[in-house]
Structure formats: C-alpha cells, structure tokens
Amino acid sequence: MIQEAIKKIVDKQDLTFDEAYQVMSEIMNGQTSPTQNAAFLAALSTKSSRSETIEEISGCAKAMRDCATLIHHPFEVMDIVGTGGDGSNSFNISTTASFVVAASGIKVAKHGNRAASSKSGTADCLEALGLPLAKTPEQNIEMLEKTNFCFCFAQSYHPSMKYVGGIRKELGIRTVFNILGPLTNPAKPSYQLLGVYDESLLEILAHTLNELGVKRAMVVYGQDKLDEISLSAPTSICELNDGQVTRYTFDPQSIGFTYCTKEDLRGGHTRRKCANHQRYFSRKNQRTKTPSCLVKCWSRPLSWW
C-alpha cells in the first residue's frame, strides 16, 4: 500500500482515513523499508502549504495507537500535552499543570517523551525529580488509582517507533509524527488540553481528536507563538464538546492577570526546570511561573468534571 500512497501524495492527492491507517500500520509493523518510510513522510509533509488533512492525521494516529502497548483502565482520564516545536524553551508548564489538576481530584495520564526541540522534555524533568519512567500498564493503573497521576513514557509504550526514529532525525524536517505524539496516548484519554506550535492546526486537531473518540478537548495556541495557554499574549482556542467545535480567543487579562514576557517563562536545562517545579510546589516560586500554571489549569477544563 505504501507505494500507492506515495504516488498519490506526489500527485498532490489527499489520502483517505483507511489509506492513511493502512500505510501507518505497515510502517509500525516493520513491513516497509526505510527508504519508503522516508519518502512517505517527506511527501506527506510537503504535499501542500497546509497541514496534513484530518483524515490523514486521524488514520495515522489510530494505526499508531493500535500498535502501541495500551493501558486498559476503568477511569476517565485527562491529558495535558503540547506538540512542542515552538522554540520558546519555556519551563514545563504542562507537566506542572498536570500535577495541580491531579491534586484537584482529576485523573491525569500524562503522555510524553524526552526532549526533542527543547532542552528538557517531560520525561527528562520527571526523571530529575526522581520519578521512575518505565512503568508497566499495571503500575500506571495503580498510580492513577492512588495518586490521580501517571506518566506514559512514549518510548516504553510505542516500541514500533524504532522503525522511524532514525529516519526522522536524518530528514530534519517536521513530519506528521510531530503531531502524532499528543494524539496517541496509550491510556486513551476522554479529555485533553492540547497545545500546538502553529495556529493552522487548531481546527484540524480539534476535529481529529473527535475522530479519535475524545469527548471534550481544548486545542490552544498562544498568539506569541507558544504551544500553551499564554500569559504573555491572547490565546486562540478551538474547543471540542461532544462532536461540536467552537473557536474563540482567551485573554488572561480578562481574569485579572497581567502580561509577562516570554523570557519570564524560560526554563533552561533539566536541572533548572526541576528547580522551577520544586519552587512552585514549595511556594518559593517566581511571579510569572505560578500564574502560567494556574492559567493552564483554567476553570473551563476543570469544569468538565
């Protein structure tokens, strides 16, 4: 199937959901060659000036998740995650917000990996805080039950990524995999707060989450080019609610916050980001890092429960 898909994409035609699903299934099961994988990823990412289509992303995401080691749990869980790639090197806002949301009684299954474009990813930060990463599905279910939080380390739950990991690095361009990570949480969250690096992805990924069975979601883009709900500018939001997508803008000034600068949100290397977490939870936090986490834990996602 992958050869037919490459030919179709080169001819500037979109793939159907089924075609995208079949090709990604072949890739994830090692049935394609590295050359074919590279050609498919490069062709798909350059097919047009816009992103891949909802059907292409949904098909690839479902295939990738079907090939993952899934966590079969009885809970309704949330994920707070970003695509990364915004180049801001901010501290781990989503990770910190996940702890706060979990402490409020909501079960959070955080899906993430080591740093790609930043200096420290979620896995790097949690590891520096002393939390073990490679937990089994059973251990993560127990963590959810006892603490309302677990971390799904992507490397442990997506072994099939071994077929494309090296190719992605060698290509050196953004591919569909840059947005598949947040869509392929092995815990299959019913609720999601997803930050994106490009405003054009808002509606596409909101509809994609709907196709993947997510009940409610907010896909957000800080207008200062952050994949976060920003504290230094308004944020564009597409909200998914039972199949309906609504777009609006949120300004932190509307709930009493004042703008900071993007520099205020910088995190640095892993040790510094770890120290930011510790300061936050010991109340020795900095002026802007606390509000940024509070805004990320904003009342609307919490009101879903």
> Is residue 30 domain-resident?
yes
Whether residues 22 and 134 fall in one domain: no
Do the Cβ atoms of 82 and 292 come closer than 8 Å? no
Number of structural domains the chain divides into: 2
Task: Give the Cα-Cα-Cα angle 80, 162, 181 (nearest 5 degrees).
Answer: 15
* Residue 213: half-sphere exposure toward Cβ, Cα within 13 Å: 12
- Extract the annotated binding site for 5-phospho-alpha-D-ribose 1-diphosphate: 82, 85-86, 90, 92-95, 110-118, 122
Q: Which residues of 7-20 are buried (b: 16+ CB within 10 A; e: fewer)?
A: ebbeeeebbebebb
Q: Report the C-alpha gap between 33 and 30 in whole angstroms.
A: 8
- Extract the annotated binding site for anthranilate: 82, 113, 168
Whether residues 84 and 141 fall in one domain: yes
Whether residues 245 and 270 fall in one domain: yes
> Is residue 175 domain-resident?
no
> Is residue 113 domain-resident?
yes
> Is residue 179 domain-resident?
no
> Is residue 166 domain-resident?
no
Q: Give the domain CATH number at 8.
A: 1.20.970.10
- Extract the annotated binding site for Mg(2+): 94, 227-228
pTM for this structure?
A: 0.85
> Is residue 165 domain-resident?
no
Per-position pLDDT tens, the chain of length 305: 999 999 999 999 999 999 999 999 999 999 999 999 999 999 999 987 677 999 999 999 999 999 999 999 999 999 999 887 655 566 678 888 898 899 989 999 999 887 655 555 778 788 888 887 778 999 999 999 999 999 999 999 999 999 998 999 899 888 999 999 999 999 999 999 999 999 999 999 999 999 999 999 999 999 988 888 888 899 999 999 989 999 999 998 888 888 877 676 665 555 555 555 555 555 555 555 555 555 555 545 556 65
Whether residues 120 and 207 fall in one domain: yes
- Extract the annotated binding site: 82, 85-86, 90, 92-95, 110-118, 122, 168, 227-228
Whether residues 46 and 117 fall in one domain: no
Domain around 124: 78-154+187-300
Whether residues 54 and 197 fall in one domain: no
Whether residues 199 and 142 fall in one domain: yes
- At residue 299, the pLDDT reads 47
Residue at token pair 């350059």:
46
Q: Give the domain CATH number at 276.
A: 3.40.1030.10
